[in-house]
Structure 1
Amino acid sequence: MALPIDSPGFRETLVVLGSAGLVIPAFHRLRVNPVIGFILVGLFAGPYGLGALTDDLPWVAWISISDAERIEPFAEIGIILLLFSIGLELSFRRLWDMRQLVFGIGSAELLLSSLLIGGIILATGSSWQTATALGLALALSSTALVLPMVGTQSPVGRASFSMLLFEDVMLVPIIFALGVLGPLGGGDDLDSLFRVLWMGGATVIALLLLGRMLLPRLFRQAARTKNPELFLSAALLVIILASMATTLAGLSPIVGALLAGLLIAETEYRAQVEVMTEPFKGLALGVFLITVGMSLDLPFIISNWPMLLLATVGVLLLKALVTSGLLRLIRTPGGVSAEVGLLMASPSETTLIVLAAAQGARLIGPDTASFWQVVTAIGLTATPLLARLGRDVARRVDSRSDAGLELLEQGHNGRTVIIGFGRVGRMVAQMLERHGKTFIAVDADADTVRRARNEGYPIVFGDVARPGFVEKLDLGHAASLVLTMDNPVQNVATTARARENWPELCIVARARDSGHAGELYRAGATDAVPETLESSLQLSEAVLVDLGVAMGPVIASIHERRAELREEIKALAPEMDRAPSLQRRRLRDAAGTGDDPHE
């Protein structure tokens, strides 16, 4: 049977799959963000790229797409699967916990951004209807790009998701409101809006009730067959039916997809469904990004680049300031506020939908719609760059945060100072909390500091290798100093510096092995804990208990052996001092001069 090479969509499918299978891995090897890669593929192979040459070079049709509308349905499927996967990551309890963010900061962000953008457009001489339409369209942000980058579990992800969720919910009311504002709008559109609201609400309630009753039984039966294809078919059936139901009710299909994900997330089959639908989501999202690239009209961009640049930068800057400012008002950490502001700055894929609705309602003309569609496409292309910039800005903001200075200046007497807040430092902090002991942590990694501070730990940013920083820790009033850094050289140098300034301070340090522990004792550590010896003692304890030896004698013998090993290491420390190696001389120099031993 002959291949249907002339059937609708066949060539487009080959181009898309070829792009995903060949071009995108090349971008990955070059360390270019896949989002940018897909958009560049769309630009290169689209109607304004190679697709424009198909009349003169027919063979180019096999490696290009001249009609972008043919793959737009695939892009819509990508958005639906994306929202479904987001629902899988959530639960109704999490949504309830986030209600203040969603309907508080989410509504404030959309309203304030649209008012400011619309006000600026109004000042340029446009009508208030046009300004309202463009303000609402450009205030939307990209769910399809932002959430895959940050997820929904991190502080940045939670804040972004709360605003994006509100925008997705408001998409249908916005479109109907534009119909009311149009010259042909009126009572019929207003009646349609109310009809959609009550029908949509009834549909959502029905989906929630039926889903809770039927989904566990559906997936239980599919799982019993032990047929992966049947299990995947059941998941796709749920997505399709939920999306169709909300579409028939007048809502967006992405609302149904989100509800389907939420309902499945409440069952025990969530993880399996998430794994099986992941490849489809990634491919479909790539198709959507290709369509974004195809909408970039290079000749139009080249001839109008000053105005396009000004409009793009203006929208990005205004939305970033509004979002970060609102987050700071609710006392969100500065680094998180800055990163979320930049992430949410670009327009959205739903901006294109709202622009089309505004054009259909005759609120904006074709030329105006084309101009802002290009601005939206450029903004979407810049989203990965904004995400990278947001992370860099967040690190700088966190490293200069005044909260750290306040913690240092509080001067608690009797608190423990933990330097290094990785896996070991976090465990020490948790045990101190369990026994009611106060502490402050220090780490030189801005991301670690930000995550710990968002979790409520008292932590400051700082590099103890820099001269004068150790003195700022007020160790004279501290109960103890705990060094947990995975850096043997710096641990010894910091121990020597602290012992020189505070002879009575209790210093407990992490050691890699017995030799490193000896270096720490020589530098002045009160206790040094070798990781290798501790793991050996823990293994010995486990073996003895499993062999039936009583727990009490085992623990006593472990403590006794630990004390013996500690004395042996201390006894070897003077001998190590008499035969210093090059590394030990480096340690002594670093401890005595304050130079950075990393250098």
Structure 2
Amino acid sequence: MAAEAAHHGVDLVPVVALLAAGVVAVPLFKRFGLDSVLGYLAAGLAIGPFGIGLFSDPETIISVAELGVVMFLFVIGLEMQPSRLWSLRGEILGLGVLQVATCGLLLTGVGILLGYDPAVAFVFGVGFVLTSTAIVFQVLNERGEMSTPKGQRIVSILLLEDLAIVPLLAFVAFIAPGSGEAEAGSRWVSIAIALGSIAGLVLVGRFLLNPLFRVLAQAGAREVMTAAALLVVLGSALAMQLGGLSMAMGAFLAGVLLSESTFRHQLEADIEPFRGILLGLFFLGVGMALDLGVIAQNWGLIATAVLAFMIVKAIGIYVVARLLKTSHSEALERAVIMAQGGEFAFVLYATAANVGLIDATVNAIFTSTVIVSMVLTPFAMMALKRLTPEPEQSMDGVEVAHDMRGSVLVIGFGRFGQIVSQPLLLRGEEVSIIDDDVEMIQAAAEFGFKVYYGDGTRLDILHAAGADHAKAILVCVEKPEAALRIVEHIKAEFPLATVMARAFDRGAAIELIKAGVDYQIRETLHSAFAFGRATLETLGVPDEEADELMDEVRRRDAERLEIQVVGGIYAGNQLLKGNQPTPTPLATPKRGGSAGNEEAAEAIRRAAASGEEAAPG
């Protein structure tokens, strides 16, 4: 019955297998601290021809899944306004050209040493120079480094490599056996077509796309907007493909042309789900395409080529980066991230095989070399992270907490702790402050705050910071798990101290209440209440009605919290019950306050007069 249904309808087995492989493998690999790309590759190998054999033609999967790379570059283009792209021209034409040329020469030499003819070695080497855009962008995206300066430099290099595929394809056809004047003429025609495709896409993007999306937006059909977004991406990719250029470059160019459009965010939201799924599908396809038969027959050559190419390419990238005054850590990280071959190498090797420059066996060896390098990249990145020590941080001006005896101990001096400490300092209370962020401590010192270095989750640090003498201990750290651990330590070791804690969210608040904290408040509670009250005013709601509405919101919030607390109703937090104490006016600072923070109190008064913050928040 199932076979008959599959025969007359859509065969869902491959679709379900692909989705299941990704859904199972990626979370599993992430749980063990491994890269998501590695999870996709392993899943593809498991269900491919050399695994359980659910798929016999991985090339078809890759050809479809390359649309994920295309959409990824479209989204990157949306974030790359023309002015921003122009500002990167130095990196693209300088750093990019220098890295591609240097690594191309080095890897061509490695190919010759491996026994290939110079022309074949050139194809092998420059194909490997073209880094995997999919892997590198995935890494940068997961780390949140796409828009950082070092991320932008890597993006610039990748853009140059995408552009380089055009002259490389032309050169491969030129050096192919039997190429002559006829082929030379056709190459000039191809170049003219490519330039025409770019010009046509620029004109369409400049004058037609915005009016098109404006009309569609007025129609109010959301699904048509999504279809139009896909049409723009795929249409621009097709235009570049027909012009003999990279599909990904066409999508990127379309994204850049729409980057200043009022519909940019809508387009990005429509494309994002397709991009993520297809990019994962691409990595699955690469894992399936790993031909274990070819590797088994030529394992010595492939292993040597992979190691030699990755090491030499990494050295070339590092040397170029250092010559251009890049720091050692950034140069080393860039070398490891970009040491692999990429998806455009498959295109170059296939073209070389089509024109008779290499045979099918050599093409399979070259392709396997690139795929293995892509598989090894996540391992190389993990090794780099383990082997390179964290940069040492200067401890200038930072004192470790010891023998402190303030009446109030503040643990954590971020944006929350800075504000909390100000009324205490203004009143002249003896406030002791500890934090484990060296940069924050150094910055606070510039504003007159004396903050000591100390990790509040450690019991010995709490003793050194004077927790046994403090009347009140204020836990103002950002991480909820750290706040809970600190409160548990204090309640167990210093039961007489009043403990007041910052809660990250409702769940953290409940855990703190269960740990016995005397007072807790969610960090965004009051700001959210104030925001809601201001919105009611904006809508013209009378003050009396607005006050009643906000009182009701507070009451319901308190009731929900009480219901969620296990073990009885919590009655200690008056603020959440709506019984806010009347604020006491700030008194004049008394003598005898914390000697290290008297300057801070003065800084607060000056800031209050000028309307500025007393310390960076």
CA contact (8 A) 1:418 1:482 kept: no
Deviations along 1:358-396, whole A, 9 cap, x unmatched?
222332233222222111111111222233334455654
Displacement of 1:165 in angstroms is 0.6
1:202 aligns with 2:196: yes
Q: Paired residue for 2:451, among 463, 483, 487? A: 483
Equivalent residue for 1:109? 99
TM-score by structure 1 length?
A: 0.67
Q: 1:92 to 1:33 in 2, by over 3 A?
A: same
Equivalent residue for 1:334? 328
1:130 aligns with 2:120: yes
Tell me the SS of whatever aligns to 1:399: coil
Equivalent residue for 2:358? 364
Q: 1:27 to 1:390 in 2, by over 3 A?
A: closer
The aligned runs of 1:433-444 (5 Å cut-off) are none
Tell me the SS of whatever aligns to 1:85: helix
Deviations along 1:411-437, whole A, 9 cap, x unmatched?
xxxxx8799999559999xxxxxxxxx
Equivalent residue for 2:18? 16
The code of the aligned residue for 1:290 comes to L
Please identify which structure carries the higher helix content: 1
CA contact (8 A) 1:15 1:65 kept: no
Displacement of 1:265 in angstroms is 1.9
The code of the aligned residue for 1:50 comes to I
Equivalent residue for 1:380? 374
CA contact (8 A) 1:9 1:71 kept: no
Distance in structure 2 (CA, Å) of the matches to 1:8 and 1:169: 39
CA contact (8 A) 2:436 2:454 kept: no
Tell me the SS of whatever aligns to 1:347: coil
Distance in structure 1 (CA, Å) of the matches to 2:279 and 2:326: 31
Distance in structure 1 (CA, Å) of the matches to 2:452 and 2:56: 60
1:292 aligns with 2:294: no
Distance in structure 1 (CA, Å) of the matches to 2:70 and 2:319: 31
Instruction: Number of aligned residue pairs: give it.
Output: 474
Displacement of 1:203 in angstroms is 2.6
Deviations along 1:403-460, whole A, 9 cap, x unmatched?
x69xx7xxxxxxx8799999559999xxxxxxxxxxxxxx988xx98xx9xxxxx99x
1:399 aligns with 2:392: yes
The aligned runs of 1:31-70 (5 Å cut-off) are 31-51=33-53, 64-70=54-60
Deviates more, 1:187-196 or 1:234-243: 187-196
CA contact (8 A) 1:27 1:33 kept: yes
TM-score by structure 2 length?
A: 0.65
1:94 aligns with 2:96: no
The code of the aligned residue for 2:178 comes to L
CA contact (8 A) 2:216 2:225 kept: yes
1:312 aligns with 2:306: yes
Distance in structure 2 (CA, Å) of the matches to 1:262 and 1:215: 12
Displacement of 1:182 in angstroms is 0.8
Deviations along 1:153-182, whole A, 9 cap, x unmatched?
123321211111100111121111101011
Distance in structure 2 (CA, Å) of the matches to 1:268 and 1:200: 29
Displacement of 1:188 in angstroms is 3.4
Equivalent residue for 2:158? 164
Tell me the SS of whatever aligns to 1:102: helix
CA contact (8 A) 2:294 2:364 kept: no
Q: 1:159 to 1:393 in 2, by over 3 A?
A: farther
The code of the aligned residue for 2:194 comes to G
Deviations along 1:475-524, whole A, 9 cap, x unmatched?
9xx99675386844899979999xxxxxxxxxxxx9758xx9xxxxxxxx
Distance in structure 2 (CA, Å) of the matches to 1:484 and 1:266: 47
Q: 1:145 to 1:486 in 2, by over 3 A?
A: farther
Q: 1:395 to 1:332 in 2, by over 3 A?
A: farther
Q: 1:37 to 1:315 in 2, by over 3 A?
A: same
Q: 1:326 to 1:417 in 2, by over 3 A?
A: farther
Equivalent residue for 1:350? 344
Distance in structure 2 (CA, Å) of the matches to 1:422 and 1:364: 64
Tell me the SS of whatever aligns to 1:230: helix
Q: 1:395 to 1:257 in 2, by over 3 A?
A: farther
Gaps of 5+ in 1: 52-63, 409-415, 429-442, 453-457, 460-474, 498-509, 517-529, 548-557, 574-599
CA contact (8 A) 2:40 2:280 kept: yes
Distance in structure 1 (CA, Å) of the matches to 2:10 and 2:43: 21
CA contact (8 A) 1:47 1:65 kept: yes
1:219 aligns with 2:216: no
Distance in structure 1 (CA, Å) of the matches to 2:201 and 2:380: 37
Q: Paired residue for 1:149, among 139, 163, 178? A: 139
Q: 1:393 to 1:329 in 2, by over 3 A?
A: farther
Q: 1:304 to 1:217 in 2, by over 3 A?
A: same
Distance in structure 2 (CA, Å) of the matches to 1:426 and 1:122: 63
CA contact (8 A) 2:73 2:248 kept: yes
Displacement of 1:225 in angstroms is 3.4
Identity of aligned residues (%): 27
Alignment root-mean-square deviation, CA: 4.6
